[in-house]
Structure 1
Amino acid sequence: AAERHRLDPELIHAVIRAESAYDPRARSPAGACGLMQLMPATARRFGVRDVWDPAQNIEGGVAFLRVLIDRFEGDLKLVLAAYNAGEGAVAKYGNRIPPYRETQQYVQRVLGYLGVG
């Protein structure tokens, strides 16, 4: 998936670690599912038929990351904020990290896993 979507595998690992701690059966109270914690609408958007299938879940999550990287011109902090809080939330706050504690902590956590935070 990393190669297909031209992403660093370390980024994918960092997102999976932050999202699900590598538990393919993880489910959030908000309804996000699987390794990359895809919301149902995101899974549909990227053609994921079975969010519990690790390969499909990763493919959908990585495709989403690629869209976000392109949209936010490679600004990793905005990409991660959008992955966590949604593209609309980042746009609402003028293409800045939304003032949500969870999102701000998430961005720092993933950057930390990458060794850049």
Structure 2
Amino acid sequence: MIDFAGIRQVQMRIAAIQEQFGVPGMPFQRKLDSEIEKARGVRGADAAAAHRDAAQDAAPKALRAAGAKGTTEALPIADKPLADLVREASAKFGVDPKLVSAVAEVESGGNQNAVSGAGAVGVMQLMPETAAGLGVNPYDERENVEGGAKYIKEMLDTFGGDVKKAVAAYNAGPQAVKDYGGVPPYRETQNYVNKVLDIYQ
């Protein structure tokens, strides 16, 4: 069953970040309201089935290789323009593009229109506060990918290049990783890390 508690607070946070970055609010708000109404129409097992089917549909697309200019290495992102954005952002911040694309795949299936129940936005599922701290507009696909790559780089630097800890920090936050001295004992984070590393390796 989908829990809509707090959805208005999420909408207010999204509206605030839209205003901060000068993103036109109404088209996005209408789209968000439309998606919420659609979700409300799906009940119980139907909701779980719809979510599962969407995830299964997205995975094969994202796992198909996409080439890019000047390189033959395939990334786990089906969309070539997105794969190119990942490569550019990765080069800009000195991060392995395969790692950035693996995070993008697990976060959103490479979908810039994805918005989580908690308010995370876009391909790299940036929280508005995180995006603001990174100096990027999460509603712009290029900036969203750049923000994600920059944040991954920050997490790698924070944890001495330890990819597993950096990926865990991307999901659970760096403080949780520091507190537990590694991947926190949260099922969601453990599953997330395993999925990212399976794609990355």
Q: TM-score per shorter chain, which class? A: over 0.9
Moved over 6 A (4+): none
Q: AA paired with 1:2?
A: S
Structure 2 length normalisation: TM-score? 0.55
Q: What corresponds to 2:108 in structure 1?
A: 20
Structure with the bigger RCO (C-alpha within 8 Å, sep 6+) is 1
Superposition deviation, residue 30 in structure 1: 1.4
SS of the counterpart of 2:95?
coil
Aligned length in residues: 113
Superposition deviation, residue 52 in structure 1: 1.7
Q: What per-residue deviation string (whole Å, max 9, x for no partner) do you get for residues 4-29 of structure 1?
A: 11111111110100000011011111
Superposition deviation, residue 83 in structure 1: 0.1
SS of the counterpart of 2:93?
coil
Q: What corresponds to 1:74 in structure 2?
A: 161
Q: What per-residue deviation string (whole Å, max 9, x for no partner) do you get for residues 26-84 of structure 1?
A: 11111111000001111011101x31211010111111111100000011110000000
**Structure 2 alignment gaps of length 5 or more:** 1-88
Structure 1 Cα separation of the partners of residues 160 and 99 of structure 2: 16
Report the structure, 1 or 2, having the larger helix content: 2
Which is greater in Rg?
A: 2
Q: What corresponds to 1:114 in structure 2?
A: 200
Superposition deviation, residue 96 in structure 1: 1.1
Structure 1 Cα separation of the partners of residues 178 and 187 of structure 2: 17
Give 1:38-49 correspondences, 5 Å limit. Answer: 38-48=126-136
Q: Percent identity?
A: 47
Structure 1 Cα separation of the partners of residues 96 and 194 of structure 2: 18
Structure 2 Cα separation of the partners of residues 3 and 109 of structure 1: 23
Superposition deviation, residue 91 in structure 1: 1.5
RMSD (Å), alpha carbons: 0.8
The answer on 1:101 being equivalent to 2:187 is yes
